[in-house]
Amino acid sequence: MRWIRMTVALTVFLLAACGRLTGSGGGGTGPTGPSGGTIAHPTGSDELVLRWEHLGGFVPVEFDLARIPEWSLYGDGRVIVQGPQIEIYPGPALPNLLVFRLSEEGVQAVLRAARDAGLMDGDARYPQPCVMDAPATVFTVVAEGRTNVVEADALEIDAACSGVDGVDEEARARLREFQRELGDLASWLPEGSIGAEEPYEADAIRIYALPYRGDPDVPQEPLTWPLATPLSRFGEPSARLQDARCGVVTGPDLETLRPLFERATQLTPWVSDGERFGLVLRPLLPDERGC
């Protein structure tokens, strides 16, 4: 299918542009200090502190439904990132996600770098009118009692656009440098502040079920949908994709499905009540819920 091929191409492009990202209880707020000292932030294991992700761009809707933030830091110090993705067609149904933990000293260093990059000065948007159809890079920082969202169009594409009204090249350069630093934590964080990296296993997976289209040139082994609720009645009609349904699996249902998901590809046909469906799988991160 064309959207799968586009997915692989865009993933390879983004990985080449950004490099690999590496380095992971209860709610509350950390201590507050002067502007140069401790930065207050949420402390819950499911409370977001900092994230960068790609949004928009000229991509198929199925790719957008499966897209996952590149880098997410939570209040307990866990960082969830995208690991290396195998470059085959069709790709695995589930993405390769990794988790590691930062010490509080490491979290503070990251937040200070975010502040220096202008990510705690309120919401902002930095356009790039010289590049069309590229995704925007969006940074979200939750600290010092407020949420800041900063968006920069086509941030990873080094295209000269100086002199165009509304283009702040200095601000964009600071964001690019901060993004680079997130991808190379070991080179600048305090020694011992980065824990061991391990696979991240989501407690919930969002599923989009749609009529099977497949690729006649790449036949796939079908898998049987094992849950009592058939895919034709699974979840609710999706507001984002016509003829699709969306639902979230957790607990025993997820444990039943997980071994099948790990065998499946993006083109696997799923058979349910005699019908064939295609599934778009999206592991949910700790702060995410529902469809």
Cα separation of 200 and 183, whole Å? Answer: 18
Domain that residue 207 falls in: 202-283
Average pLDDT, the chain: 87
DSSP label of 197: -
β-pair partners for 81: 71, 98
Domain boundary residue, one of 198, 218, 251: 198
What is the distance, to the nearest Å, from the Cα of residue 291 to the centroid of all Cα atoms in its chain? Answer: 15
Whether residue 218 sits in one domain with residue 154: no
Lowest mean pLDDT among 55-69, 74-88, 209-223: 55-69
Whether residue 213 sits in one domain with residue 127: no
Residue type, 64: D
Domain boundary residue, one of 170, 198, 226: 198
* Domain-embedded: residue 180: yes
Whether residue 159 sits in one domain with residue 70: yes
Whether residue 207 sits in one domain with residue 144: no
* In the predicted structure, residue 162 carries a pLDDT above the cut 80: no
Higher pLDDT, residue 164 or 20:
164
Cα separation of 138 and 50, whole Å? Answer: 11
Lowest mean pLDDT among 8-17, 114-123, 174-183, 265-274: 8-17
* In the predicted structure, residue 39 carries a pLDDT above the cut 60: yes
Higher pLDDT, residue 67 or 56:
67
Per DSSP, helices labelled H in 19-159 are 61-66, 104-116
Model pLDDT, residue 71:
98
Mean pLDDT of 260-276: 97
Nearest alpha carbon to residue 214 among 266, 289, 261, 258:
266
Question: Band of the pLDDT at 102, cuts 50, 70, 90?
Answer: very high
Whether residue 244 sits in one domain with residue 256: yes
Q: How many domains does the chain have?
A: 2
Residue type, 152: A
Mean pLDDT of 206-221: 95
Burial of residue 25, with CB atoms counted within 10 A of its CB: 0-12 exposed, 13-18 middle, 19 or more buried: exposed
* In the predicted structure, residue 227 carries a pLDDT above the cut 70: yes
Cα separation of 178 and 251, whole Å? Answer: 37
What secondary structure does DSSP assign to 23-63, as a single string? Answer: ------B-----TTSPPP-B-STT-EEEEEEEE-SS--HHH
User: Which residues does 177 contact at the CB level (< 8 Å), separation at least 6?
Assistant: 117
Model pLDDT, residue 19:
37
What is the distance, to the nearest Å, from the Cα of residue 93 to the centroid of all Cα atoms in its chain? Answer: 15
Whether residue 206 sits in one domain with residue 191: no
Whether residue 73 sits in one domain with residue 147: yes
Whether residue 224 sits in one domain with residue 176: no
Lowest mean pLDDT among 1-15, 98-112, 169-183: 1-15
Cα separation of 99 and 197, whole Å? Answer: 6
Cα separation of 278 and 96, whole Å? Answer: 20
Domain boundary residue, one of 142, 174, 198: 198
* In the predicted structure, residue 59 carries a pLDDT above the cut 80: no
Whether residue 115 sits in one domain with residue 166: yes
Higher pLDDT, residue 15 or 232:
232
- In Å, what is the CA distance from 161 to each residue of 128, 167, 168? 7, 7, 9
